[in-house]
Amino acid sequence: MTTAGTDARAPSQAPATILLVDDQPGRLLSYRAILDPLGERLIEARSGEEALGMLMENDCALILLDVNMPGMDGFETASLIHQHPRYEKTPIIFVTAVNVSDMDRLRGYKLGAVDYVMVPVIPEIMRSKVSVLVELYRKRRELQSANERLARANEDLRVEKARELEVLNESLRAANVALAQRNIELQAQIAERERVQAHLLEHDRRKDQFLATLAHELRNPLASLANAVNVMKLGGNSGPDLQDAMDRQLGLLVRLIDDLLDIARISQDKLVLRPASTTLDAVLRSAVESIAPMLQATGHALEMHVPDVEIAFDADRERLSQVFANLISNAAKYSDPGQPVRVDTERDGEHVLVHVADGGIGLAPEQVEAIFEPFAQVDTSIERARGGLGIGLTLVRRLVEMHGGSVTASSPGLGHGSCFTVRLKMRSTPALPEAVPPPVPIAMPRRVLVIDDNCDSADTLAMMLEMLGHEAQRIYDPHSAEQAVEGFVPDVVFLDIGMPGISGYDVARKLRASPLGEQLTLVAVTGWGQPEDRRRTAEAGFDHHLVKPPEIEAICRILGGLPPCGSRVR
């Protein structure tokens, strides 16, 4: 066996392997001589068995096979070759030296022969047939290689697309999860907005109801005061009974306005407590005193059950008195006339519980907690118009919580009364004795100037001062204050704060800077009474701060506490 030399051509042009099978060496030599010019790789076998062995070791493009060989002839060899899957399509050219019948040709074609070459061999014909089959082999190999590359490219494309699809699916899954989460959040936001909207609608409804109630509550005492004024105009009895009625209605108006201001201050965190040592007995006594006229007018008996042992607090007595006054008046308001209101106390460790109970209209289960909301009222029917602005219990809860306590409501049901329980922490040490306010000193006659842009307020205050024995003048224009002081030379100036054009603070500073400024006692008269308001008036140069409407006792204390005439030193 011999082979042609190696070739450096491209793989698609590399020499093809041609298997030459013949039992006669001379023919093999002639085949080689004929085919060498083609430049292909030639391998030889001298029998069918050897040819089969050569095929196991080589990938042949073509087999040149002698038909008449001893032992295994060409037909048998071709049959065995094409039975192998690797070579079932390998082209075979039969070489024969005898005439071949049509039957033999048909048999050869069935065994995979593609052509016949007769001996003696014509070189050009053999080379032509071999070169055509080799070229077909190369084209088939190129096609196979292209198919393999295409298959690899398709597989790479499939893998890449599968990876891209997986990435896309993962992105879609993540997007779906995010969308689901967002939908949950949106549903929660929608639910929250619906809840807030319902709350706002309810708040607006309560606000409208409150404004209507406020108008009603203000008209009641105003009507009484107007009737009393009309009686006086008609020359009727203006004795103590009429004066007491007017005083009660004025107190009711002041209390309504104070409750409104307190709610506003609490909502803005501007309400400041002034805690001091006090007792439960003192707190309850003060509360009962403030609402005694109302209880007497409605015929409600007050049953008090307070322990004999003194219970001490560190608390703002005025504010706690306001809490229990609201609770007791509320109990009386929502009970039929003549029904008693009961106040019970009990100790619970470091705390004391105060129960205010009535046998009135009671509360439904859904009202027990809602009753403490602003502007909430349990009974708004005209037939049972009981008064109130719907802010008293809101004020009660906030004041109790500011004292570190709690307040709860309970009721067996509608028509069976209610009970409000206030829980407060007691002091561990006894309360200090409360200071007894000093008696109101007798005031010497003074020269008093009243400055207020509200003519009625200025006139009535000046008239009251004159009835107290003082010489009073009033002006309504705050810009004339310096001229009035210079001409009248007062000892005391009662000065309104909220005036158009110039505030009472600015007027006070100007008066302090005037030649008579050191001798003046300046009294602020304003509707604001919080510590911050009192600080501002003090910084502006005021000596005293009175909240409208000023009480006559407070005015007398200020005037009675002045130094002798001519001895004032700042």
DSSP per-residue string spanning 186-245: HHHHHHHHHHHHHHHHHHHHHHHHHHHHHHHHHHHHHHHHHHHHHHHHTT---SHHHHHH
With a cut of 60, say whether residue 558 has pLDDT above it: yes
| CA angle 437–438–440, rounded 5-degree value | 115
Decide: 525 and 548 in contact? Cβ < 8 Å.
Answer: yes
Looking up tokens 């491209």 gives 10
**Residue 407 bridge partners (DSSP):** 422
Higher pLDDT, 239 or 301: 301
C-alpha–C-alpha distance, residues 513 and 292, integer Å: 48
With a cut of 60, say whether residue 378 has pLDDT above it: no
With a cut of 70, say whether residue 457 has pLDDT above it: yes
Q: Using one digit for the tens of pLDDT, what is the confidence trace for 539-551?
A: 999 999 998 888 8
Q: Using one digit for the tens of pLDDT, what is the confidence trace for 121-134?
A: 888 988 888 888 88
C-alpha–C-alpha distance, residues 161 and 172, integer Å: 16
Q: Using one digit for the tens of pLDDT, what is the confidence trace for 68-88?
A: 888 888 888 888 888 888 887
With a cut of 70, say whether residue 9 has pLDDT above it: no
pLDDT-based confidence at residue 381 (cuts at 50, 70, 90): very low
pLDDT of residue 423: 93
Higher pLDDT, 220 or 29: 29
Q: Using one digit for the tens of pLDDT, what is the confidence trace for 136-192?
A: 888 888 888 889 989 998 999 999 999 999 999 999 999 999 999 999 999 999 999
C-alpha–C-alpha distance, residues 21 and 317, integer Å: 130
pLDDT-based confidence at residue 433 (cuts at 50, 70, 90): low
Higher pLDDT, 197 or 382: 197
pLDDT of residue 385: 43
pTM score above 0.85 = no
Which residues fall within 8 angstroms of residue 408, CB to CB, at 6 or more apart?
A: 420, 421, 423
pLDDT of residue 216: 55
With a cut of 50, say whether residue 506 has pLDDT above it: yes
Torsion of CA 214, 220, 222, 223, to 10 degrees: 140
pLDDT of residue 443: 76
Percent of the chain at pLDDT > 70 equals: 81
pLDDT of residue 177: 92
C-alpha–C-alpha distance, residues 93 and 169, integer Å: 58
Please compute the mean of the pLDDT values over residues 48-66 and round it to a whole number. Answer: 88
Mean pLDDT taken over the chain: 82
For 120, the enclosing helix (H) or strand (E) is none
Percent of the chain at pLDDT > 90 equals: 27
Instruction: Give buried/exposed letters for 448-473 (b at 16+ CB in 10 A, else e).
Output: bbbbbbeeebbeebbeebeebebebb
How many residues are listed for the chain in this entry? 570
Decide: 77 and 52 in contact? Cβ < 8 Å.
Answer: yes
| CA angle 385–389–395, rounded 5-degree value | 135
pLDDT-based confidence at residue 234 (cuts at 50, 70, 90): low
Range with lowest mean pLDDT among 2-16, 216-230, 233-247, 359-373: 2-16
Higher pLDDT, 513 or 215: 513
Euclidean distance between the first and the last CA atom of the chain, given in angstroms as a whole number: 140
With a cut of 50, say whether residue 285 has pLDDT above it: yes
Strands 544-547, 521-526: pairing is parallel
C-alpha–C-alpha distance, residues 480 and 495, integer Å: 12
pLDDT-based confidence at residue 414 (cuts at 50, 70, 90): confident
With a cut of 90, say whether residue 447 has pLDDT above it: yes
pLDDT of residue 505: 93
Q: In 3D, which of 246, 254, 202 has the Cα closest to residue 224?
A: 246
Give 405-414's long-range contacts (Cβ < 8 A, gap of 24+): 405/351, 407/323, 407/372, 409/363, 409/368, 409/369, 409/371, 409/372, 410/368, 411/362, 411/363, 411/364, 411/367, 411/368, 412/362, 413/362, 413/363, 413/364, 413/365, 414/361, 414/362, 414/363, 414/364
With a cut of 50, say whether residue 569 has pLDDT above it: no
pLDDT of residue 435: 55
| DSSP annotation of 270 | -
With a cut of 80, say whether residue 420 has pLDDT above it: yes
pLDDT of residue 266: 65
With a cut of 50, say whether residue 6 has pLDDT above it: no
Higher pLDDT, 307 or 537: 537
pLDDT-based confidence at residue 100 (cuts at 50, 70, 90): low
Instruction: Give buried/exposed letters for 363-380 (b at 16+ CB in 10 A, else e).
Output: beeebeeebbebbbbbee
pLDDT of residue 507: 93
pLDDT of residue 380: 45
**Residue 346 bridge partners (DSSP):** 353
pLDDT-based confidence at residue 280 (cuts at 50, 70, 90): confident
pLDDT of residue 41: 92
Please compute the mean of the pLDDT values over residues 82-104 and round it to a whole number. Answer: 76
pLDDT-based confidence at residue 193 (cuts at 50, 70, 90): very high
Range with lowest mean pLDDT among 7-11, 245-249, 362-366, 423-427: 7-11
pLDDT-based confidence at residue 215 (cuts at 50, 70, 90): low
Range with lowest mean pLDDT among 56-60, 64-68, 222-226, 290-294: 222-226
Higher pLDDT, 482 or 365: 482
C-alpha–C-alpha distance, residues 445 and 454, integer Å: 25
DSSP per-residue string spanning 433-494: PPPPPPPPPPPPP-EEEEE-SSHHHHHHHHHHHHHTT-EEEEES-GGGHHHHHHHH--SEEE
Residue 493 phi, psi dihedral angles, 5° rounding: -125, 120
pLDDT of residue 1: 45
pLDDT of residue 111: 67
Decide: 45 and 54 in contact? Cβ < 8 Å.
Answer: yes
Please compute the mean of the pLDDT values over residues 456-464 and round it to a whole number. Answer: 88
Q: Using one digit for the tens of pLDDT, what is the confidence trace for 385-406?
A: 445 556 778 888 888 888 899 9
pLDDT of residue 316: 84
Query: 3-state class of 422 per DSSP?
Result: strand
Alpha helix stretches (DSSP H) within 364-420: 367-370, 392-402
pLDDT of residue 7: 47
C-alpha–C-alpha distance, residues 433 and 278, integer Å: 8
